[in-house]
Structure 1
Amino acid sequence: MTADAPVSREPVFAISTRTVVFGAVGAALYAVLGLFSFLIPGTQSVAVRPAFALVPFFGKQFGVIAGFFTGLVGNMVIDLLQGSGLTYWNWSVANGLVGALAGLIFAYLPPIANEAVRLVAVAIGSLVATALGMLFVITDIWVQGIDFNTFLTINYLPALVANGIAVVILTPALEAIWEPLAKRTGR
């Protein structure tokens, strides 16, 4: 969004037809594209999933609820399709939190007119949302019965690096593609 455009935003936690539709579209896209991933050797089922960049993108563009829904439901569907069921439910919640936190972060950032600066802000905001949201997987200590060191070195850090690379590169790319389309449609 440019600095000269008026900002008309819904309340941060508003649930509307628009929010539900965009959340469902985001979850469907994430679920389908998320199937194109591969496991990182030496981790406990941590996957490199480029489609993860959709989670903070939908949070940024369509709000906290749509971002949470995209991450939560999209990851649950991926897990179901890949055969792990709801065993890793806490990872789905963590994905949802990433989308929600991205929605919160970008709801309170002022509009940035310079495109390069805006895209850097998108990358940094998405990375911060990812780092904070993925902390929820500390619940693996209780859910999976692992120790803190295993959580940190085998679960959290590999997931943060893999997802961090995806959001730093692909979320700004999605933003750069989306912005002209949004302007053309009057969004």
Structure 2
Amino acid sequence: MSTDATTPREPVLSLSSRTVVYGAVGAALYAVLGLFSFLIPGTQAVQVRPAFALVPFFGKRFGVIAGLFTGLVGNAIIDLISGYGLTYWNWSVANGLVGALAGLLFAYLPPIANEALRLVVTALGALLATAVGLLFVFTDIWVQGIDVTTVISINYLPALISDAIAVVILVPALDAIWEPLSKRTGR
């Protein structure tokens, strides 16, 4: 089954049992796989976390709400299990925004039939959602009481670089794996 521009889509902010289930599955996967990460030396708790690619992927494939839930709840669970508690709640919100922005972005992009072009657009869209969503970490200025230079050099840029590598490589890979399955099920 091929999707074209005339095929009706679900509303962007639809909340259904499917959305809730996919969001919960995404959050659980992100929480478990996100534990397999390591700290970047010289940063304030910024980690290389390949599982972050699940956040924009779930946003793209299952919508804004599922992406938001995957990033927000998944990151909060990782922080709780890792012993940070909810001290860095704003980073969980930033992760959720990445998933929501990916969902919004891909909801308004027309379907792309060419496989290679679709994967490039997927990588660029996931990168854009990551760069914009992570801007929310600038709230560390108020939450943690640190200056703008520190937020940029020790928090935002290291997180953006490590997450960018993960999303540019892994989101298109996940999407390439998921595409045949979604065509088979009609989703």
- 1:144-186: CA deviations, max 9, x gaps? 1100000000000000000000000000000000000111122
Alpha-carbon contact 1:123-1:171 (below 8 Å) kept: yes
The residue number in structure 2 matching 1:72 is 72
Two-structure CA RMSD over aligned residues (Å): 1.3
Alpha-carbon contact 2:5-2:110 (below 8 Å) kept: no
171-180 or 3-12: which moved more? 3-12
State how many pairs are aligned.
Answer: 187
The residue number in structure 2 matching 1:109 is 109
Equivalences for residues 72-91 of structure 1 within 5 A: 72-91=72-91
What is the distance in 2 between the residues matched to 1:74 and 1:10? 24
Letter in 2 for 1:49: R
1:8 deviates by 3.3
Letter in 1 for 2:75: N
What is the distance in 2 between the residues matched to 1:92 and 1:45? 13
The residue number in structure 2 matching 1:57 is 57
C-alpha spacing 1:6/1:155, structure 2 compared with 1 (3 Å): same
Letter in 2 for 1:84: Y
- 1:112-160: CA deviations, max 9, x gaps? 0000000000000000000000000000000111000000000000000
What is the distance in 1 between the residues matched to 2:100 and 2:132? 11
Structure 2: 5+ residue runs without aligned partners?
none
Alpha-carbon contact 1:2-1:112 (below 8 Å) kept: no
Letter in 2 for 1:154: I
What is the distance in 2 between the residues matched to 1:159 and 1:172? 20
The residue number in structure 2 matching 1:48 is 48
Sequence identity of aligned pairs in percent? 78
Structure 1: 5+ residue runs without aligned partners?
none
The residue number in structure 1 matching 2:166 is 166
1:10 deviates by 1.1
What is the distance in 2 between the residues matched to 1:16 and 1:70? 15
Equivalences for residues 82-161 of structure 1 within 5 A: 82-161=82-161
Q: Is residue 20 from structure 1 mapped to residue 28 from structure 2 by the alignment? A: no
- 1:76-114: CA deviations, max 9, x gaps? 000000000000000000000000000000000000000
- 1:3-34: CA deviations, max 9, x gaps? 55863321101111111010000000000000
1:2 deviates by 4.7
What is the distance in 2 between the residues matched to 1:104 and 1:50? 22
User: So what's the TM-score if we normalise by structure 1?
Assistant: 0.97
The residue number in structure 2 matching 1:176 is 176
What is the distance in 2 between the residues matched to 1:79 and 1:120? 32
Q: Secondary structure at the match of 2:36?
A: coil
